[in-house]
C-alpha cells in the first residue's frame, strides 16, 4: 500500500471516528434557569367551553326548532337566562355566535389576579372567529373541578403566511385574556430540592451538578437521573436567594446529534456540526456517493462527495440536483440506517 493510500485510509478512519462527536468548541453556554424548572413547577393545563359573540354572520349555522336547538343555541339561551332574559330556543339564530373550546397552559405558581394567554378553537361549523368577543368563560384544571380562572376578551387571528397560504380563522388567541381567580397549590421554595431538566440528558445534568457544586460547595448537587439534579440548600441561607443565584449560573448543554427534515419543503436542520461518512444511497433517479472512488463522468442526478462532509453541504448538493423533499428525507434516513450518519433523523 502506497503512502498516499495510507494517508487516505487514515483520513477516512478519523472522519468515521469523529462523526457526530460532541465538542464544546463553538457551543453557547446557557443559564441553568433556561435549562431547568423548579421541582413542583409542573405546567397546569386549563380548559373551558365558551361562546364567541359579535361575529359578522360567520358563526355556527345551528337554528333553534320546536324540539330545541344545537349546543350553540342552548348555550346562548342559557347565557341569556342567567342574565334574566328568557328567550325560547326556537327563535334563536346563532350566525353571530360560535361555540368554542378554550385552552391554556399556566405555571403551577400562578396566583390570583395573574393574567395569561388563552387559545380558542371553534367546536361547530363557524367559518370565522375574526372580530369576535369571547364571553366570560370559566376554566378548570380537571373535569367537574372548581374554576381556577376565567377567560374573556377580543380574539386575535393571524394574517396568514407571506407565501399566500390560506389563513385559518376558526382558531385564535387572547394574549392576556385569562385571569386566575384562585391560587394554584404548589411547593414552597423551602421544599424545593431538585431542578428538573426541560430536556432530560445525562451529560447536561452532570454539568449542571458540577457547576452548582462549584458554587455552593463540593457535593451540594448530585445527579439523580437524566431529568433531575438534587440540590442541598444550606439551612442558614434563604432558598429564594440561593435558587435565583443558581439560575444565573451558565453551563454548556450537551449537543444533540439530530437532523430534522421537513418533508413538505425539503428544509434540513442539523443539531450541531454533524458529518457524513462513506456510503452510497440510490433513490429513484438520484444517487448519492460519499467516499467511493470513481473516474466515470457524473450522470444526471448523481452526487459525489468526500467522506466527512457536513450535513448542510449534502443538503445543498441534493437541492442543487433538484431532489424532492421526499427524496431528501429518504436519503438522510438511509444514511442513518447504514451508519454513515450517526445522528437521529426526524422527518416531519
Residue 197: what pLDDT? Answer: 93
* 16-30, 214-228, 282-296: least confident range: 16-30
Per-residue pLDDT, averaged over 252-276, amounts to: 83
At residue 240, the 3 state secondary structure works out as helix
Query: C-alpha dihedral over 180, 185, 190, 193, to 10 degrees?
Result: -110
Please state, for a pLDDT cut of 70, what percent of the chain lies above it. 79
pLDDT digits (tens, 9 = 90+) for 330-346: 988 898 888 888 888 88
> Which residues, including other chains, have CB under 8 Å from residue 225's CB and lie 6 or more apart?
200, 202, 205
pLDDT digits (tens, 9 = 90+) for 119-138: 999 988 889 999 999 989 99
CB 336 within 8 A of CB 272: no
Question: In the structure, what pLDDT confidence band is assigned to residue 150 with cuts at 50, 70 and 90?
Answer: very high
Residue 35: what pLDDT? Answer: 93
Which carries the bigger pLDDT value, residue 21 or residue 320? Answer: 320
Beta-carbon neighbour count of residue 137 at 10 Å?
A: 23
Strand 302-305: give its sheet, edge to edge: 279-283, 286-290, 302-305
Residue 92: what pLDDT? Answer: 64
CB 304 within 8 A of CB 317: no
pLDDT digits (tens, 9 = 90+) for 234-245: 888 888 889 899
The rounded distance, in Å, linking the Cα atoms of 313 and 276 is 10
Question: In the structure, what pLDDT confidence band is assigned to residue 112 with cuts at 50, 70 and 90?
Answer: very high
66-70: long-range contacts at Cβ-Cβ below 8 A with a sequence spacing of 24 or more?
66/90, 69/94, 70/124
Please provide the DSSP assignment of 281-293 as one string.
Answer: EEETTEEEEES--
Question: In the structure, what pLDDT confidence band is assigned to residue 299 with cuts at 50, 70 and 90?
Answer: low
Residue 1: what pLDDT? Answer: 42
pLDDT digits (tens, 9 = 90+) for 41-93: 888 999 998 889 888 888 887 654 444 446 777 777 776 676 666 666 665 66
Residue 21: what pLDDT? Answer: 43
pLDDT digits (tens, 9 = 90+) for 160-184: 554 555 677 899 999 999 999 998 8
Per-residue pLDDT, averaged over 317-340, amounts to: 88
Question: In the structure, what pLDDT confidence band is assigned to residue 27 with cuts at 50, 70 and 90?
Answer: low
Residue 166: what pLDDT? Answer: 63
Amino acid at each position: 500500500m502506497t503512502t498516499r493510500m495510507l494517508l487516505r485510509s487514515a483520513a477516512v478512519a478519523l472522519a468515521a471516528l469523529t462523526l457526530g462527536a460532541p465538542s464544546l468548541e463553538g457551543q453557547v453556554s446557557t443559564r441553568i434557569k433556561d435549562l431547568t424548572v423548579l421541582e413542583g413547577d409542573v405546567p397546569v393545563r386549563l380548559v373551558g367551553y365558551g361562546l364567541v359573540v359579535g361575529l359578522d354572520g360567520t358563526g355556527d349555522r345551528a337554528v333553534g326548532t320546536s324540539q330545541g336547538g344545537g349546543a350553540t343555541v342552548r348555550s346562548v339561551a342559557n347565557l341569556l337566562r342567567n342574565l334574566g332574559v328568557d328567550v325560547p330556543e326556537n327563535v334563536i339564530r346563532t350566525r353571530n355566535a360560535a361555540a368554542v373550546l378554550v385552552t391554556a397552559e399556566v405555571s403551577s405558581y400562578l396566583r390570583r389576579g395573574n393574567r395569561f394567554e388563552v387559545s380558542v378553537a371553534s367546536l361547530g361549523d363557524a367559518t370565522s372567529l375574526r372580530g369576535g368577543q369571547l364571553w366570560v368563560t370559566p376554566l378548570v384544571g380537571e373535569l367537574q373541578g372548581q374554576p381556577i380562572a376565567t377567560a374573556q376578551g377580543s380574539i386575535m387571528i393571524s394574517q396568514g403566511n407571506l407565501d399566500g397560504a390560506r389563513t385559518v380563522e376558526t382558531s385564535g388567541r387572547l394574549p392576556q385574556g385569562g385571569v386566575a381567580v384562585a391560587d394554584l397549590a404548589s411547593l414552597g421554595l423551602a421544599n424545593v430540592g431538585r431542578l428538573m431538566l426541560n430536556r432530560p440528558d445525562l451529560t447536561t445534568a452532570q454539568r449542571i451538578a458540577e457547576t452548582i457544586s462549584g458554587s455552593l460547595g463540593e457535593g451540594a448537587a448530585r445527579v439523580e437521573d437524566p431529568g433531575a439534579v438534587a440540590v442541598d440548600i444550606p439551612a442558614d441561607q434563604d432558598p429564594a436567594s440561593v435558587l435565583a443565584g443558581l439560575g444565573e449560573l451558565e453551563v454548556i448543554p450537551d449537543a444533540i446529534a439530530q437532523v430534522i427534515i421537513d418533508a413538505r419543503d425539503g428544509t434540513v436542520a442539523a443539531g450541531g456540526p454533524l458529518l457524513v461518512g462513506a456510503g452510497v444511497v440510490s433513490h429513484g433517479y438520484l444517487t448519492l456517493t460519499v467516499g467511493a472512488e470513481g473516474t466515470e463522468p457524473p450522470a444526471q442526478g448523481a452526487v459525489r462527495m468526500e467522506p466527512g462532509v457536513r450535513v448542510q453541504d449534502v443538503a445543498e448538493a441534493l437541492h442543487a440536483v433538484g431532489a424532492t423533499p421526499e427524496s431528501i428525507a429518504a436519503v438522510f434516513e438511509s444514511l442513518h440506517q447504514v451508519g454513515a450518519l450517526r445522528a437521529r433523523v426526524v422527518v416531519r
